[in-house]
Chains A and B, each alone.
Chain A
């Protein structure tokens, strides 16, 4: 029961990595976050992480992420420049005083700019640090089919107790979207929460009216799915086989090696 791809990854989707290699890239991205690699190393790693996205033929997605990253990089550099120009001691005080809701003491615009710079810097650093994870996550999410994912999990000896719910979760998302549209239609028909902001105006009511039908339907779907899955032999003991074959090929190893090298250098402080 595992043959429909997640997302729009067709058979002609270009070069794609093994799911385990993708997982390794995700781990690397997390390590990057963990070790506070400096900006240069980070930029190199981001460029490397973007490559597989382009290789898989997901140009628009890759370009969007690249532009976002470099915009944040620019913002960070700008804030560096501003905060370096501003008075070192005074600007910190002004930020605190603004936080306290008090009067903005001292040297007017320069300090204000420095404050803006600090806020922008904090934001840009914050989001930029998440970018490697987001890029690898987007790659893993958009280029892996369910069957590949399940096969990789089984190969990594993940217990069936985790594999089955994961499979169901991925399958169930489209159903939720469909149900939600139906519920909203039914609500509109009865004149409940028909306007654009009507849902927000009565949050508790709309939560109840939406989540109760969703849950009702979920219980029925889970019953049907159980019957279907048991009929197809999901409950049989022993090892399950997969339709899709996954194999680590040379470019999987190559990608892993190429991405590990600058990472190790950056953590070691060489780069």
Chain B
């Protein structure tokens, strides 16, 4: 690249790579190449989510509630590389929004869209504290980001409500219904949430290790 070597202060480490086509102005706003990178990483992330769906459904029939956890386990490398490559505010958020949009269009519950906007935005803000270079804040941001996938499993709790409603309509007593569902719902909810936390930490750590092992050396990250 025949880029004039003007001094560019405070340039993130991610953009030091010589192979990258230099955008005209390296502002903190998302440029077209950034958006294209985000799109590509989002596609990879979406594929990982599909794999996670498959795995969590195969391993246990009702294992769908662990979908976000499994996704958190395997999406670490994709997320870490995308943060390293883009490294600007908005990147993670756009990723979440696009995923939410695809989930919505492919027939998931509309609330999943809300979840996949709110949590990635929070994760983005957290990763921004460390200027997208501090490993700890990125890791925390990743864990928060992972909660964005709770959207697709939220209907499970709604379904329970619907089933309870149909039981009520058939004249079962309220105490009986409570008996049937009290432990299942609350317990499983907390287990699922804690599982996301643990798997997010493991997956994020794995992603950072992969990043360090393969991509930093190659000058890509």
Contact = CB atoms under 8 A, between A and B. Distances in A.
A126 B210 CA distance: 39
Contacts of A29: 107
Contacts of A80: 170
B109 A211 contact: no
A126 B163 contact: yes
Interface string B89-127: 010001101100110111111100000000000000000
A183 B90 CA distance: 32
Contact of A140 (B41, B85, B105): B105
Contact of A133 (B39, B108, B170, B220): B108
Contacts, number: 171
Contact of A211 (B77, B94, B158, B162): B77
A222 B104 CA distance: 25
B19 interface: yes
Contacts of A71: none
Nearest to A123: B61
A212 B214 contact: yes
Label chain A's interface by main secondary structure.
helix
Interface in A148-168: 160-162, 164-168
A216 B33 contact: no
Contact of A172 (B30, B40, B220): B40
Nearest to B211: A215
Most chain B beta-carbon neighbours within 10 Å: one of A137, A140, A169: A169
Contacts of A122: 159-160, 163
A92 B181 CA distance: 10
Contact of B39 (A93, A118, A165): A165
B9 to A, nearest CB: 24
Interface residues of A, number: 65
B98 A166 contact: yes
Nearest to B107: A137
A83 B167 CA distance: 10
A257 B104 CA distance: 22
A207 B163 contact: no
Contacts of B198: none
B60 interface: no
Contacts of A36: 161-162, 165
B140 interface: no
B44 A215 contact: yes
A17 B77 CA distance: 39
Given A207-B74, A222-B85, A229-B32, 15 more contacts: A27-B110, A34-B110, A36-B161, A92-B176, A125-B159, A125-B166, A126-B163, A133-B107, A134-B107, A137-B106, A165-B36, A172-B39, A176-B43, A218-B41, A226-B36
Interface of B: 19-21, 30-33, 35-44, 46-47, 74, 77-78, 81, 85, 90, 94-95, 97-98, 101-102, 104-110, 155-156, 158-163, 165-166, 170, 172, 176, 179-180, 183-184, 206, 210, 214-215, 218, 220
